[in-house]
Homo-oligomer: A and B are copies of this chain.
Amino acid sequence: MDEKVAAKPDQAAIASPRRAPTQQRSRERVERMLAAASSLIAEQGSDAMRMGEVAERAGVSIGSLYQFFPDKRAIVWALAERYTAESQACIASALKDVSDAEALKQAFSELVDIYYRLFLAEPVMRDIWSGTQADKALRELELADSRANAEFLVAVLKRLRPGADPIALETTAFLVWQMGEAAVRLAISVDREEGDRLVAAYKRMALRELLAE
């Protein structure tokens, strides 16, 4: 009854907990592990994070860490998943009632600002999504997240432009969303002033596209 990594040791794709904590005690310990990892990532980056340090800071043994996480990346992945869940909820509610161009401008602009500020303030998010491209599991999580977010945008666009080709809307929304992530990542990697300009330029560009036709 041992759910090993199964058939293909393909690496990279699967990153779910090796074993779900069922007892109260262990659930708390897993929380401590994630908190420890989070603080270490904030301080040094996930690459420099050492499993030994995570265990020590969480007050557990190395073995316990591996009881619940199959490997190091799984810890980062677990943190990433929480962020995506939170942000999806936020985005969904922000776009829920948008039904005209002006409201879209408003809501979109606010969402971008929130995202930008979040990245400026949260070293953990910054670090996690940096590694996105290199780690297959993370890349897939981000793509799935981006598609989900794009769907919210598609719903709005369908209301604003009922006649438009659904596939085109889908493509536009997905692209705009990914561009936004790229724009914010770029913005935080240059100085603040230029970053602000880049984010503003992105907003204009994206809205022009979203409201086009």
Contacts and interface: CB of A to CB of B under 8 A. Distances in A.
A-side interface mostly? helix
Interface string A196-213: 011001101100110010
Given A130-B133, A171-B201, A198-B171, A139 B189 contact: yes
B189 A183 contact: no
A166 to B, nearest CB: 12
Task: Report the contact-size class of chain A (Cβ under 8 Å from the partner).
Answer: 35 or more
Interface stretch (A17-25, A35-43, A174-182): A174-182
A97 interface: no
Nearest to A185: B133
A143 interface: yes
Contacts of A194: 171
Interface of A: 47, 129-134, 139, 143, 167-168, 171-172, 174-176, 178-179, 181-183, 185-186, 189-190, 194, 197-198, 201-202, 204-205, 208-209, 212
